[in-house]
Amino acid sequence: MEGWYPPSMADDNSSDLTDFEAGLLEWLCENNFHVEPWSTQNAAKQFYVEEEAIYEAIAALTRKVPQRIQVFYKNGALHIAAD
């Protein structure tokens, strides 16, 4: 079927990312939060924002670029994988 793409590709809204969301995604890709436990507090310090802004940006990334980010719980901690 011409023009049809799997939902994961069709739902890529990476052009809709704010500068903050794009920066956060890049930072997530460069770190090992799929192996190391995630810390919202540390992320907020890294970006000089409140923790609430980090939560909102992570939520936005899961909606806008779901094929590029995975948030999961493992061994008692939150982990985030991004590419």
The whole-number average pLDDT for the span 11-24 is: 84
Name the residue ranges covered by the structural domains of the chain: 17-82
Upper half-sphere CA count for residue 8 (Cβ side, 13 Å): 5
Per-residue pLDDT, 61:
97
Q: How far apart are CA 15 and CA 64, in angstroms?
A: 9
Higher pLDDT, 2 or 23: 23
Per CATH, the architecture of 17-82 is what?
A: Orthogonal Bundle (1.10)
Q: Is the pTM of this model over 0.85?
A: no
